[in-house]
Amino acid sequence: MRIVLGLEYCGVGFCGWQSQQQGCGVQDALEAAMAAIAGEKIRVTTAGRTDTGVHAAFQVVHFDTDVKRPLSAWVRGVNSHLPAGVAVLWAREAGEDFHARFGAMQRGYRYVLLNHAVRPGLNQGLIGWHHNPLDAAAMNAAAALLIGQHDFTAFRAAECQAKSPVKDLRLLQIERRGDYLLCDFRADGFLHHMVRNLMGSLIQVGAGAHPPEWIREILDGRDRTRAAPTFDAAGLYLTHIRYPAHFALPETSERWLFA
């Protein structure tokens, strides 16, 4: 039997999604909690890994098991064994043709950025911060130059293991809400650190260090050293995962504070 779970987690205190030998990954916490309910070892496959300090408002995993449990056990039962920063939102049965990673047609991230002279205290670790005023219109003008299928080598981490740097960026928009900038990214897939690297360069445009056209020059140059440094992980959230319609799965969560 194949089961699909939707979940959310706070990246603070974890070394990212992926299981680690020292047991510090979100995956480690989830699989330990699931084993307590199943009475056997469970291994999950995720829609997308997140780095240390990155959060998920909406993550999807699947696993296979012969253990018979009501779907509620994979939600409330598993949650009773999870640390406070991780929660299963729902559980569904699926056929063997469903795959959390390879079946995903589109993924989306939102970067939550506080644009204020004073650093955050209450939301430390949950939002990014830039102290100088940012021009959201200039950032959106730069963002428009990145839409489409491109080679994103200039915004790819050196340790990225993706087979190709070519991705189809379908949405990149920045919305100002008071002192916050909500920066949305959606694509068929993302390279390692791609969103955080794009954020670093977009912020330089918003701060007036470069015109919007500069970001296209960086993209076309395919040279990571010419782009801005990788931006802070704190404000980055995995928010959307889209699967073919016949699976009838949600593609986001509406209960998130920054939805």
**Amino acid in the structure at residue 87:** A
Q: Out of 28, 51, 64, 188, pick the active-site residue.
A: 51
The two beta strands, 180-187 and 236-242, are unpaired
In sequence order, the 6+-apart residues with CB closer than 8 A to the CB of 137 are none
Burial class (CB in 10 A: 0-12, 13-18, 19+), 178: exposed
- Of residues 43, 56, 75, the one with CA closest to residue 16: 56
Question: Which residue type, as a one-letter code, is found at position 227?
Answer: A
**Alpha-carbon dihedral angle through residues 10, 13, 14, 15, given to the nearest 10 degrees:** 130
Tokens of 172: 């990149």
Instruction: Assess whether 220 carries a catalytic annotation.
Output: no
Distance CA 56, CA 152 (A): 23
Q: Do residues 18 and 30 make contact, with C-beta atoms less than 8 angstroms apart? A: no
Position of tokens 């993550």? 59
What is the per-residue burial (b if ≥16 Cβ within 10 Å, else e) of 120-150? beeeeebbbbbeeebebebbbebbebbeeeb
State the catalytic residues. Answer: 51
